[in-house]
Structure 1
Amino acid sequence: MIQTAPILANSQSELTQQMSTRLRTALSTHLRQAYAPDDRKELRIFSATEAAELLGVTGQFLRKCHSDGTINEPDIIKNGRRFYNGSELNEIRHSFENGSRTPGKYMPGRRDGDSLQIIQLMNFKGGSAKSTSAIHLCHYLALNGYRVLAVDLDPQGSLTGFCGIQSELEFDGASIYDAIRYDNPVPMSDTIIKTYFPNLDLAPARLVLSEFETETAVNAGQGVAFFERLSSAIRTVEGDYDVVIIDSPPALGFLTLTGLYAATSVLIPMTPSMLDLASTQQFIEMTSAYLQVIEDTGAVLNHDFFSFLITRDDPTDIPSQQIVSLMRALFQDRVLASTGLRSTGIADAAMLKMSIYEVTRSDMTRSTYDRARASMDEVGSETSRLIQSAWGR
């Protein structure tokens, strides 16, 4: 336990500064313990059973491919059991795709003529599991063969933290702000970093990103419209990715709107409660008004899908299920059939800035893990089908 003396301050600014310093020190200590010895996250290894499931093949087929030399043996074999890291899974996926008669069976990403899919998660209600949903989508799609770029538009940097970079402690290097700022923006490629997770890159956020709101107000009407700044930046790197996942701040400001303009699809995470339903109604109403202002400039906004994602869903809670039923009655197929469950497994993983895909089954009660994993798999799979549908498949 951390032992500290009482905070003594002569002014409110000194008090808040001391509070900030203590929190910063505590965060630094915790994160260095969590990511020791090199302060970097690493993706866990996967058993042969998990690998076969992720690759969409049987365990028998995977063993046969090793036996006949179609694929290389993994680096880690314990007691005759094979374990695979993310890079090895990626190599196997490429190998299977090259030998497949069905294009896209193992590599479901873009083909010639397919447009980049940009999915924004947005809601101005805190606690909607927006960032948690975003990282699970990133990890699911990356593990299933998509080339994914995560764009963190939230100055708080939650998605950045999930990707192994602790924005609370700051970091050296460019962030997404540097690509969309008004004064000497840098190329988008200069802001993107490789993560520890294969197939997943990140355009990180820093607290300075909040300056975009003020700068946009100051620069209104000068040069390129503010809402085009992110889409223009992404366009320069679109050939490197199949899918972009944007995590926007919990506010309907300029950052959220520039993400909304760049997006080809939108997901609105919401928890099934009356307070959240009322908040979401206000959010949608404000969004409509802002979109009208953007469209009045002559801009054309077309989204492949604009849907709700129910999060923190508890099937045993009757009042919340009434809200879910109401949402489905009102919006039919604009509410994803799959839901993100209220799960201690997901919550515990998020406390460590991890997704359920980074947790091994033995780390928690198996039934808890299985329910959480199945829930996130269903959300990811349905989103993948929507992406494929946007590509005309």
Structure 2
Amino acid sequence: MFTHTDLAQLQAQSLKMQGFIRQQTYSPESEKTLRRFSSWEVAELIFKANQSTLRGRLAADPSLPQGTVEEDGRQRWYSLEEINELRRRIKVNRKSLMPYRPANKRAIRAAIANFKGGAGKSTTALHFAHAAALDGYRVLCVDFDPQATLSHSMGLSDVAEEYTVWGIMARDLGHETDRMNSALRGAESGTALPQRKLPAAITDMGLNDLRASDFIKPTNWPTIDIVPSCANAAFVEFASAQYRHINPEWSFFAAVSRFLDQIAPDTYDLILFDCPPAIGYQSMNAVFAADVLYIPSGPGYWEYDS
């Protein structure tokens, strides 16, 4: 039978192996970096223009980003920041390269969900985010899955649970409880409303003082941010049940939606939710906050049935 000491040793060995794998996967600085894109990729795949057209624009205006030239001078390579600068400053066939965005609209929120594990939710969310970023859009990802595959794929591997969806929900509980307690009496009846008191375990976390932007972290893509996740975020399923008991009037299904409403409407163009493979508090928060529900499914019975 394993003792606590045995389990602690297994954990230490696991963390050591995790660190080794991360060292092999990431750069020597233990950071994920975004590669540069060739002039052919920029012209043909990203701008959908002829490569000679791009070369002509660059030659005509030396102030445009010129990229990094290979030693033999045969190829240029551009960072995403340089690509977006080109997108803002040049036109092809008198048309702007800036992506379409409806005026005076907030970002579209899309939840990627399937209650079957291994259906490709995180991979789909990752590819959607990358594709949108290459099209010039600003993207926010919200990782609801405690497995944190999306967070790890974007270079975030050391995340405190207070800065995950769990922290967002606990913060929302504090704000909503304060708001309800400030309404001393019912509007029509004048009946005194119950005063809810949160335990120190919640109030002492200091989440009430955090801004919405404190939960949002940059990634290795300059136009993609993320609300990351971690293994300890699985605690949200247990904590949410406890929070509902503390304040039965708290509309917990709207916690993430209220959080996103605090972000300026023009900050992002697209918000993607990577949901866990289960029906729970996190999945339901994602669905309630979403405008679009995208369900990836393989051709097999189990994926489709889920």
TM-score range, shorter chain: 0.7 to 0.9
The number of equivalent residue pairs is 265
Within the candidate set 266, 282, 300, 1:239 is matched to: 266
After alignment, is 66-75 or 199-208 more displaced? 66-75
Identify the residue that residue 60 of structure 1 maps to in structure 2.
52
How far 1:56 sits from its partner (Å)?
A: 2.1
Distance, in Å, in 1 between the alignment partners of 2:33 and 2:162 is 20
What CA distance in whole angstroms lies between the structure 2 residues aligned with 1:214 and 1:259? Answer: 17
**Matched residue type, 1:153:** F
- Residues 1:207 and 2:196 aligned together: no
Q: Is the 8 A contact 1:109 1:145 kept in 2?
A: no
- Higher-RCO chain (CA-CA 8 Å, sequence separation at least 6): 2
Deviates more, 1:66-75 or 1:263-272: 66-75
Answer yes or no: is the 8 Å Cα contact 2:161–2:232 preserved in 1.
no
Query: Map of 1:74-223 to 2, 5 A cutoff?
Result: 74-80=67-73, 81-96=75-90, 102=95, 105-167=96-158, 170=159, 174-181=163-170, 182=173, 183=202, 184-185=207-208, 186-220=210-244, 222-223=248-249
Contact 1:90 1:198 in 2 (8 A): no
Over 3 Å counting, the alpha-carbon distance change for 1:76 and 1:96 in structure 2 is same
Deviations 1:334-364 (A, max 9, x none): xxxxxxxxxxxxxxxxxxxxxxxxxxxxxxx
Q: Aligned partner of 1:214: which letter?
A: F
Determine what percentage of the aligned residue pairs are the same residue: 28
Distance 2:254 2:295 in 1: 21
Compared CA separation, residues 122 and 84, structure 1 to 2 (3 A): same
1:64 aligned partner, one-letter code:
G
Match of 2:253 in 1: 227
> Structure 1 runs of 4+ off > 6 angstroms?
none
> How far apart are residue 266 of structure 1 and its match?
0.7
Deviations 1:275-307 (CA, angstroms, capped at 9, x unpaired): 2233x2xxxxxxxxxxxxxxxxxxxxxxxxxxx
Q: With the length of structure 1 as denominator, give the TM-score of the two structures.
A: 0.63
The Cα shift of 1:124 comes to 1.6
Shift in alpha-carbon separation, 1:114–1:154, aligned structure 2, 3 A:
same
Deviation at 1:172, TM superposition (A): 9.5
1:198 Cα deviation after fit: 2.4
Range with bigger deviation, 203-212 or 152-161: 203-212
Alignment of 1:1-393 (within 5 A): 11=2, 13-52=4-43, 53-69=45-61, 71-80=64-73, 81-96=75-90, 102=95, 105-167=96-158, 170=159, 174-181=163-170, 182=173, 183=202, 184-185=207-208, 186-220=210-244, 222-237=248-263, 238-278=265-305, 280=306
1:172/1:88 CA distance change after superposition, 3 Å = farther
For residues 49 and 68 of structure 2, the distance between their equivalents in structure 1, rounded to whole angstroms, comes to 20
Shift of 1:261: 0.5
Q: How far apart in 2 are the matches of 1:232 and 1:172?
A: 19
TM-superposed CA distance for 1:225, in Å, is 0.5
- Pair member with larger Rg: 2
Per the TM alignment, residue 191 of structure 1 is displaced from its structure 2 partner at its CA by: 1.0
* Structure 2 unaligned spans of 5+: 174-201
The answer to whether the 8 Å contact 2:47/2:97 transfers is: yes
Q: Which of 39-48 and 88-97 deviates more?
A: 88-97
Q: Distance in 2 between matches of 1:13 and 1:271?
A: 41
When the two chains are superposed, the root-mean-square deviation of aligned CA atoms in Å is: 2.2
Bigger shift: residues 18-27 or 258-267? 18-27
* C-alpha spacing 1:123/1:161, structure 2 compared with 1 (3 Å): same
Query: For residue 155 of structure 2, what is the amino acid of its counterpart?
Result: G
Q: Deviations over 1:49-102 (max 9, x none)?
A: 1011212221011101111016231134442221111111111112136x9855
Cα separation, partners in 2 of 1:172 and 1:130, compared to 1, 3 Å: closer
